[in-house]
Amino acid sequence: MKPTLLILAAGMASRYGSMKQIDGFGPNGETIIDYSIYDAIKAGFGKVVFIIKEEFADNFKSIFDEKLKGQIEVDYVFQNFDLKQFGIEEEIYREKPWGTAHAILSGRKVVKEPFCVINADDFYGYDAFKKMADFLTNDVRDDNYSIIGYKIGKTLSDFGAVSRGVCKTDEAGNLTEIVERTKVYKKDDTIVFEKDGNETALDFDTPVSMNFWGFTPAAFKITEDLFRTFAAENKDKPKAEFFIPLVGEHLVNTKKASFKVVPTDNQWFGVTYKEDKPLVQASIDELIKKGNYPEKLWN
């Protein structure tokens, strides 16, 4: 059974100013999602599921359906504010969606095989998809999940500080904790993060999460149970978000599952602001010149 790729693409991209999920970055207008799907097919994935807002459906289908026909099975699911589907009768006002862990619940009725979750606007690279596909094919169990660990030195921005989830592991390479470090940036030949006005150095190879997780469908039931509790506890906090690391933290702390931190040497890059676009385009052009991708991705 081939694994499934679940793509988080329901965000509004307010800081970017438009729908960056379907903006063109490749030489023929390819989106970042195109490159992720291309790598996923090459790595052995059998299906891609887009998690989107329902009003995005026509845009996404017009961009992806024809080019992916015959390449990989495609499905679309919608993240929305309907809580009754989770057995929650109370109406809770929200200013924004409930977060990434809530988003993956949108796929629980169509994903029946091991799957991974990625962001739509992050360029992960083939090595990460291949390692995740191998893990989901050979090693995944209901109590043994995974997360791709990127070297922090290969995830930083030239335009300022970033936040990164630093992965702490045990001797077996399993996740013990994700520590959110804010204000991470390059300083001369070192990498530092700021906390309480103090700078602390980080090793270039420190593993960080870029939201690339591997699960079995058993994770849906656990996530749904946790979400019901989260919604009840945060009904008066319209900006509170239910993130995937909260699920990972629960599984690790309760010893219901372990997460293998699978290392990759890939250079990660992503887009948050319009100013990031030229750098992403240049990075993709360089990968094409190296032969990593054809100039025209889909024929």
List, for residues 253-271, the tens digit of each pLDDT value. Answer: 999 999 999 999 999 988 8
pLDDT tens sequence across 52-65: 999 889 989 999 99
Could you tell me the residue ranges of all domains in the chain?
4-289
Q: What radius of gyration, in Å, describes the C-alpha atoms of the chain?
A: 19
State the pLDDT at residue 17: 42
Mean pLDDT across the chain, nearest whole number? 92
pLDDT at 151 exceeding the cut of 60: yes
State the pLDDT at residue 19: 58
CB 20 within 8 A of CB 12: no
The separation between CA 223 and the C-alpha centre of its own chain, rounded to angstroms, equals 16
Euclidean distance between CA atoms 95 and 2, whole angstroms:
37
Residue 158: pLDDT band (50, 70, 90) is: confident
Calculate the alpha carbon distances from 4 to 10, 62, 175 in Å: 18, 21, 23
pLDDT tens sequence across 197-229: 899 999 999 999 999 999 999 999 999 999 999
Overall average pLDDT of the 41-70 stretch: 94
Choose among 279, 286, 272, 5: nearest CA to 133.
5
Q: Tell me which of 3.90.550.10, 1.10.240.10, 3.40.50.970, 3.40.50.300 is the CATH number of domain 4-289.
A: 3.90.550.10
pLDDT tens sequence across 70-89: 999 999 999 998 888 888 88
Choose among 213, 223, 210: nearest CA to 260.
213
Residue 20: pLDDT band (50, 70, 90) is: low
pLDDT tens sequence across 117-132: 999 999 999 999 999 9
State the pLDDT at residue 14: 44
State the pLDDT at residue 18: 47
Torsion on CA atoms 182, 264, 6, 29, rounded to nearest 10: 90
Residue 282: pLDDT band (50, 70, 90) is: very high
Euclidean distance between CA atoms 175 and 67, whole angstroms:
37
State the pLDDT at residue 275: 79
